[in-house]
Each structure stands twice: as structure tokens, then as C-alpha cells.
Amino acid sequence: MLNIVIFGAPGSGKGTQSDNLIKHYGLFHISTGDVLRDHIGRGTELGKTAKGYIDQGQLIPDDLMIDILAQVLDDNKDAAQQGVIFDGFPRTIAQAEALEKLLAERGTGIDAVVGLEVPEDELIKRILLRGKMSGRADDNEETARKRLEVYHTQTAPLKDYYEKQGKYRAINGLGSIDDIFNLIKEQIG
């Protein structure tokens, strides 16, 4: 079993590299963004609550995200037998600690944290391009800058947290998709 957190600022390529990791290692993918967008699209109560936070460029409260993850993991035990890639979670140290507890209760843990490192001007370009291509309403410049600010203040400290545990793998997020993926494979084996 191989459990990986894919880590990086909005627009760093987490979704793209998650797809490569899934195919190569047979991992089950949990994208908190996709889960939340699904709930928003279906108009569930969770979706309505999440939309309020997302529209403001804020993070979803920790207890809500942990409950969502627990449900997704428990509903997909068979699919997750080879391991899980966590895309977009954790985003705070409190979430990382809660994820460790959640996984320990299931007899597993995080094996590696893949950190895609991309300069901020490139992140803004990527987010705006993604918004034009996908039509994602949250991919506009104002919201992108808010999301990057939240990332720098709340999420970036996770790098130090996971470095101290020896799990963080810094990956240069510039270059071709294949080149970046080859760097990831070298780091996680």
C-alpha cells in the first residue's frame, strides 16, 4: 500500500500529476476539490455550505473535511487497497494531524508528500488559463490571488511539518508533464 499526499499551490499541477500517479501505481484518488464540486453541482447541503467558503476563497472547516474524507475512504475500501493519493488535502497542520489519526485508525499512514514547487507568476497564468479552458468559476484572478494568499499563510507551513517527518519530496513543477512525473517517480520509488 502506498499513500501519497500531492502538495502545492493552486495551479501547481496537482490534478495532472495525480492522474499520472493513479495510472502508474494503481492508487485511489481523493480530490477534495472534485468531491466538493460534485456536492455543489448536486446542490446538497454540504455543497451549499462549501460553496459559501469557496466563493470567498476560504478553506473548508477541518472537521467538515475530515468527515468527508472518512466517508469517501470507508465507501471505497476495495478501490483503495493499493493506496490513496490525497489531492488538495491536508491544507493545514491541524488537517495533517487529523488525517494521520484517520489513517492510523484504518491501520495505515502517509508514505510520501509530493510537493510541486512553481513560481507565483506561473501559478496565476496557469489558473487563469485553466479557468478559460474549463469554465471553473473559481479560476478568476481575484479568487486566484485570494487562494494563493490562503495557501501561503495556512498551507505552506505543511512543507516544514512533513520535512521534519522525512516525508516531503520537493519537485520542480516547471517543465513538461512527463519530465515532472519522472522526477516524482525518482523521489517515491
Residue from 125, 136, 145, 146 carrying the catalytic annotation:
136
Residue from 14, 51, 126, 169 carrying the catalytic annotation:
14
Residue from 130, 145, 146, 167 carrying the catalytic annotation:
130
State the CB neighbour count (10 A cutoff) for residue 118.
20
Residues linked to residue 8 through DSSP beta bridges, in sequence order:
116
Residues 28 and 150: their CA atoms lie apart, in Å, by: 27
Is residue 130 part of the annotated active site? The answer reads yes
Best CA proximity match to 26, nearest among 68, 78, 65: 78
Is residue 145 part of the annotated active site? The answer reads no
**Three cell numbers at 35?**
468531491
Residue from 51, 126, 147, 169 carrying the catalytic annotation:
147
Measured CA distances, 26 to 58, 85, 116 (Å)? 32, 10, 20
- Phi, psi of 168, rounded to the nearest 5 degrees: -80, 130
Measured CA distances, 110 to 51, 149, 185 (Å)? 29, 26, 16
Is residue 37 part of the annotated active site? The answer reads no
Residue from 23, 37, 48, 91 carrying the catalytic annotation:
91
Q: Is residue 148 within 8 Å of residue 119, measured between CB atoms?
A: no
Residues 183 and 181: their CA atoms lie apart, in Å, by: 5
Catalytic amino acids? 14, 91, 130, 136, 147
